[in-house]
Amino acid sequence: MTALLDVRGLVVTFPAPGSGLRRRRVHALSGVDLTVRRGQTHGLVGESGSGKSTLARCVLGLQQPDEGSVVFDGTEIVGLRGRALREIRRRIQPVFQDPLGSLDPRWTVGRSVRESLDAFGVGSPLDRDRRVSELLDLVGLSPDHAGRSPAQLSGGQRQRVGIAAALASGPDLIVADEPVSALDVSVQAQILNLVARLQRDLGVAVLFVSHDLGVVEHVSQEVSVMYLGGIVETGGRAELFADPVHPYTRALLDAIPVPEPDARLVHAPLAGDIPSPIDPPSGCRFHPRCPMRADSCSRERPALLPVASHLAAHHVACPVALAARPQAGPSPAQN
């Protein structure tokens, strides 16, 4: 149970676009804690404005937080520069939603993968040629794909190249931000299978960011749910999906259109819009939409608390929902 990545108290704000002299700020992350274990896939799910992509960018070192720390394998990476930052970047690699945006359109696929090897000085130049073929093979492409340009590939093949390039430097952690959102469902299945296989065979950890709970459920061992800049619930995949505690997690699970006509949404869906992160609600940020809200919810920002003592990983930021739970489990409840 060693943590590969340990994020503590991360705060990120941006100047709000068009706010001029009022200097309003977007509160993208407001004190986020997150742990990714070695060799595991951690799914990060949330809707627009939840801050999931900002969190991913902080882990990749693409965004400096205002406060907080990001510890990767024992090294604080916030504020890291030069050689040390390069070494961390070798070990944490990104996969983005749009492979066309991350591949140079003028380069062949082989050259794009080779570039990653060159940039991090992996092996001797001769080894690298061989390594390009190995990487393409690893992601299910044939050696003759190496000579093609990204435009000659399908969306799924391009994402395979994106993954091969990410694996080139031999990373310990892959940060995948909506890697299958642009793909058709039959192609999406191929990429999800590939990610699962690589995680299993190579032992690489994955921070898998997605708005799609179905996808996250399929690939992850652990899952964190974000809402408006904070994590509202985190836990093992099985507990979180079988026994969601936070009212937002429950609403989110309810809202997913499952492809089963017998599981139609019968009751009215969660009302209201997602508030703006420019001027987020006080206290618990979900309270204006919450069916369980109590008076204290608009005042106090709830901390993540363990759901039950025998489920070490399952935490939820809602004292109201926790108090409403029937007391169960092998160990007697405290208080």
Partner 1 sequence: MSGAVLELDDLTVRIPVGGGRWVEAVGGVTLAVGASEIVGLVGESGCGKSTLGGAVMGLLPVGSRVGGQVLLRGYDLRGLGEEGYRKIRGDDIALVSQDPSASLDPTYPVGAQVAEAIRNHRDVSRRTARERAVDLLRLVGIPDPRARYADPPHRFSGGMKQRVVIAAALANDPAVLIADEPTTALDVTIQAQILHLLRDLTVRTGTGVLLITHDLGVVAQVCDRVAVMYAGQVVEQGTVREVFARPLHPYTRALLDSQPAAHHRSGDLPVIPGRVPDLTDPPAGCRFAQRCAQAHDRCATAPPEVRTASGGRVACWLHPAPATAEETR
Give contact residues for partner 1 (rule: CB under 8 A): 47-48, 154, 184-186, 188-190, 192-193, 196-197, 211-215, 217-219, 241, 251-252, 254-265, 268-271, 273-274
**Least distance in Å: CB of 227 to partner 1?**
10
- Given a contact cutoff of 8 angstroms between Cβ atoms, the answer to whether 222 and 229 are in contact is no
Using the minimum distance from each CB to partner 1, give the nearer residue, 196 or 320: 196
Using the minimum distance from each CB to partner 1, give the nearer residue, 124 or 154: 154
Using the minimum distance from each CB to partner 1, give the nearer residue, 61 or 235: 235
Using the minimum distance from each CB to partner 1, give the nearer residue, 88 or 161: 161
- Given a contact cutoff of 8 angstroms between Cβ atoms, the answer to whether 241 and 225 are in contact is no
Angle separating helix axes 155-167 and 185-202, nearest 10 degrees: 20
**Least distance in Å: CB of 181 to partner 1?**
11
**Least distance in Å: CB of 202 to partner 1?**
16
**Least distance in Å: CB of 138 to partner 1?**
16
**Least distance in Å: CB of 252 to partner 1?**
6
Both tokens of residue 86? Answer: 């390069």
**Least distance in Å: CB of 119 to partner 1?**
32
- How far separated are the first and last CA of the chain, in Å rounded? 29
Could you tell me which residues come within 8 angstroms of residue 20 by beta carbon, excluding any fewer than 6 positions away? Answer: none
CA dist., res. 220 & res. 223, Å (int): 6
The CA angle 271-291-266, to the nearest 5 degrees, is 60
Using the minimum distance from each CB to partner 1, give the nearer residue, 81 or 264: 264
CA dist., res. 197 & res. 181, Å (int): 19
Using the minimum distance from each CB to partner 1, give the nearer residue, 84 or 256: 256
Neighbours of 101 (CB within 10 A): 11
